[in-house]
Amino acid sequence: MSVRVQDRGRLRAVTLANGESNFLTLEMCRAIVDAIEEAETDRGIGAILLEAEGRVFSGGIDLDEAADPDNTDHGFLHHKLFSISDRISKPLVAAVHGAALAEGMALVANAHVAVAAQGTSFGLTEIRAGLFPFAGFEALSRAIGERRATELALTGRIFAAPEALQMGLVHEVAPAFEYDDRAQDIAAKLAYSSPEAVHRGLEFVHKRRSLSALDAGTLGLKLRAGLFRGEDFREGWKAVREQRPAKWPSLEGH
């Protein structure tokens, strides 16, 4: 199977395993979407870790397959995958190594948190094949800014992990021998955070994009008030005062 899914307690690990370059076939795209969407509806899952085997994180979509005129649904499927973070209320963490090119870079931009290994390279290389990163451009634009995303999409240049960190595409760069452990540690902590706070926080992040500044502020106040009234906040504030780990009521039984 080119995508492996394993639940580690409240953490769902989704692993790309399609050879050395991890080109994203349609089968893989469907499997990644299904794994993440299933995690979204599973109350026993608190966060998702996207990682990869092989030489690189991902070299992008399988162009031979995508160019096949019989594959009429690939455009919709690619858009669904490369906009996945717009529809989920659970944190998505990416552990990136080797290279994340073309749509592989769009997967990184979709992650709420991304950790890269030292020596990883990045690039929106679609232009080299006469294409443009339409499906992932919105996520890329939000991650690094529209002007930067446009420059990278037009030039197709390859850049290294320090620049990816500087532009905000990744949040941390770690040695190759520990980047995956670091990403798993972050994802595991998120998985056991207050589900109520995480859900309301990501709901705010998603909804505010289509609102005016005034309406976004109103929404923030509403969601904030809901958290103040919740049992998780009462337990969390008590745990902070008592200097102990919180035992989130909304996690009971999961």
Residues 65-103 have pLDDT tens digits of 777 666 666 778 888 999 999 899 999 999 999 999 999
Same domain, 119 and 232: no
Same domain, 46 and 149: yes
| 166-223 pLDDT, tens digit each | 999 999 999 999 999 999 999 999 999 998 899 888 888 888 888 788 877 888 888 8
Same domain, 170 and 45: yes
- Is there a contact between 189 and 48 (Cβ–Cβ < 8 Å)? no
Of the residues 153, 173, 191, the one at which a domain ends? 191
- For residue 123, what are the CA distances in angstroms to 59, 182, 203? 10, 23, 30
The pTM is what? 0.91
| Structural domain for 215, as ranges | 195-251
Comparing 107-111, 154-158, 218-222, which segment has the lowest mean pLDDT? 218-222
Q: Which residues touch 233 (CB under 8 Å, ≥6 apart)?
A: 194, 197, 227
Of the residues 140, 165, 191, the one at which a domain ends? 191
pLDDT of 34 > 80? The answer is: yes
Same domain, 183 and 243: no
More confident residue, 205 or 161: 161
Same domain, 85 and 202: no
Same domain, 119 and 238: no
Same domain, 169 and 212: no
Q: What's the CATH number where 146 sits?
A: 3.90.226.10
- Count how many domains the chain has: 2
Q: What's the CATH number where 202 sits?
A: 1.10.12.10
Sequential DSSP letters for 222-243: HHHHHHHHSHHHHHHHHHHHHT
Q: Which residue has the tokens 């092989």?
A: 54
